[in-house]
């Protein structure tokens, strides 16, 4: 029986796709922006850090890639409307949204400050939900982009189980895991051609990870950053921290047509942490 030959390299390519990445100025978000652009997408990166964001977009354009920066606070709904409208106006569509912006506050539960809690929930939950809302409005049939798409929400291993001194963050990342599944099921059943998946990074070597390890020392839960790191790595079968590119590669897969039948999934990129 003859069989159509599929070019699997093309299946992973993002040529002619348009992406919006929140929190794209540094860390994991920066690497996601670099990965999507180098895989062929036009990328609008947004962040509250404007200098770094402009510099990244300029660097990518200097390499012949397509990238623009726009300042956006993800906790503000009006700024989501503006960001989605801007990416469609600039690049002619919207196929990929990566809800990457997120913050972490470490505190023992007994000392949790209400303002900190509210800020974590506003950015990590409301920011992601608002991103899904405005991307779905644009991507669904009849929307200003209208061709369906892929939404990728960056959760965490902290969205899968408990971690001491991290209750606000784990609450928010657990919410991201489940809101992703609701958006996925709804969008699939309404035949919008929109997929929605979550990625669960382990500890990734970024400024956030450095602050996280230092936080255990500050809270007197570890004697030193080195001891804090060793205690964490003892729980990672691969015995090392992850790198931003490990997460960026997972984003490229979920964004691409190779993941056509994948929605509502949670992709653990954690060196085996949750396999134990
Ligand atoms: N680094 C890790 O070990 C790790 C592990 C699991 C999950 N994550 C998640 O990955 C994502 C990226 O983390 P990172 O390590 O690169 O952190 P980071 O702090 O280095 O970068 C986060 C980015 O989000 C931006 N941001 C913060 N608040 C914002 C707001 N209100 N509006 C728009 N942008 C905002 C920051 O300015 C920054 O550029 C986060 O959602 C984080 O929770 C990180």
Model confidence over 99-143: pLDDT tens digits?
A: 999 999 999 999 999 999 999 999 999 999 999 999 999 999 999
Q: Does residue 3 belong to any structural domain of this protein?
A: no
100 pocket-lining for ligand 1 (C-beta < 6 Å) = yes
Kindly report the protein residue whose alpha carbon is nearest to atom 15 of ligand 1.
Answer: 208
pLDDT at 186: 99
Cβ–ligand 1 contact at 156 (below 6 Å): yes
Q: Is 169 known to be catalytic?
A: yes
Average pLDDT of the residues in 214-237: 96
Does residue 208's CB lie within 6 angstroms of at least one atom of ligand 1? yes
Tell me, using a 6 A CB cutoff, whether residue 73 lines ligand 1: yes
Domain assignment of residue 4, yes or no: no
Q: Which atom of ligand 1 is nearest to the CA of 241?
A: 3
pLDDT-derived band at 4, boundaries 50, 70, 90 = confident
Q: Is 19 inside any structural domain? A: yes
The pLDDT of residue 202 is above 70: yes
Decide: 123 in ligand 1 pocket, CB within 6 A.
yes
Give the CATH number of the domain where residue 263 resides. 3.40.50.720
Going by pLDDT thresholds of 50, 70 and 90, the confidence category of residue 3 is: confident
Q: What's the gap in Å between 101 CA and the centre of ligand 1?
A: 5
Nearest atom of ligand 1 to the alpha carbon of 173:
43
Domain count, the chain: 1
Mean pLDDT of the region 161-188: 98
In a domain, 126, yes or no: yes
> Which atom of ligand 1 is nearest the CA belonging to 27?
16
Residue 229 pLDDT level (bands cut at 50, 70, 90): very high
In a domain, 79, yes or no: yes
**pLDDT at site 94:** 99
The mean pLDDT value for 198-206 works out to: 97
Is-contact 66 43, C-beta < 8 A? yes
Look at residue 276 and tell me if it is in a domain: no
Least confident of 53-57, 69-73, 204-208: 204-208
- For residue 1, is it within any domain? no
pLDDT for 238 equals 98
Q: Which range of residues forms the domain containing residue 137?
A: 9-271
- Mean pLDDT over 230-258 rounds to 98
Residue 2 forms part of a structural domain: no
pLDDT at residue 232 greater than cutoff 80: yes
34 burial type by CB count under 10 A (0-12 exposed, 13-18 middle, 19+ buried): buried
Q: How confident is the model at residue 266 (pLDDT cuts 50, 70, 90)?
A: very high
Ligand 1 and 206: CB distance under 6 A: yes
Confidence at residue 251, expressed as pLDDT on a 0 to 100 scale: 99
Angle at 34 between CA 168 and CA 74, to 5 degrees: 35
Residue 219's nearest CA partner among 121, 117, 114, 109 is: 109
Which of 1-15, 65-79, 99-113 comes out lowest in average pLDDT?
A: 1-15
pTM of the model: 0.98
- Kindly give the distance from the C-alpha atom of residue 11 to the centroid of ligand 1, in angstroms, as a whole number: 29
Which one of the listed residues 8, 169, 253, 261 is annotated catalytic?
Answer: 169
Is the pLDDT at 52 greater than 80? The verdict is yes
Examine the pLDDT at 1 and tell me if it is beyond 80.
Answer: no
Cα 31 from Cα 223, distance rounded (Å): 32
Share of the chain above pLDDT 70, in %: 99
| Separation of CA 23 and ligand 1 centre (Å) | 6
């Amino acid at each position: 029986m003859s069989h159509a030959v599929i070019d699997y390299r093309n299946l992973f390519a993002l040529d002619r796709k348009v992406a919006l990445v929140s929190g794209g100025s540094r860390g994991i978000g920066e690497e996601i922006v670099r990965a999507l652009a180098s895989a062929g997408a036009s990328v609008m990166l947004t962040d509250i850090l404007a200098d770094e964001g402009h510099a990244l977009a300029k660097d990518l354009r200097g390499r012949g890639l397509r990238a623009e920066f726009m300042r956006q606070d993800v906790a503000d709904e009006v700024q989501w409307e503006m960001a989605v409208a801007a990416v469609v106006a600039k690049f002619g569509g919207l196929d990929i949204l990566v809800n990457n912006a997120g913050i972490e506050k470490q505190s023992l539960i007994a000392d949790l400050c209400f303002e900190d809690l509210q800020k974590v929930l506003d950015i990590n939950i409301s920011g992601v939900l608002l991103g899904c809302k405005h991307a779905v409005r644009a991507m669904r049939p009849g929307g200003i982009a209208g061709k369906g798409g892929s939404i990728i929400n960056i959760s965490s291993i902290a969205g899968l189980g408990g971690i001491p001194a991290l209750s606000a963050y784990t609450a928010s990342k657990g919410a991201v895991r489940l809101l992703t599944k609701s958006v996925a099921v709804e969008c699939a059943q309404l035949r919008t051609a929109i997929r929605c998946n979550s990625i669960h990074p382990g500890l990734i070597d970024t400024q956030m990870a450095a602050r996280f390890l230092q936080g255990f020392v500050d809270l007197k839960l570890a004697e030193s950053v080195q001891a804090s790191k060793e205690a964490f790595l003892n729980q990672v079968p691969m015995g090392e921290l992850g790198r931003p590119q490990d997460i960026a590669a997972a984003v490229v897969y979920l964004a691409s047509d190779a993941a056509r039948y994948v929605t509502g999934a949670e992709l653990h990129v954690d060196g085996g942490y949750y396999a134990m």
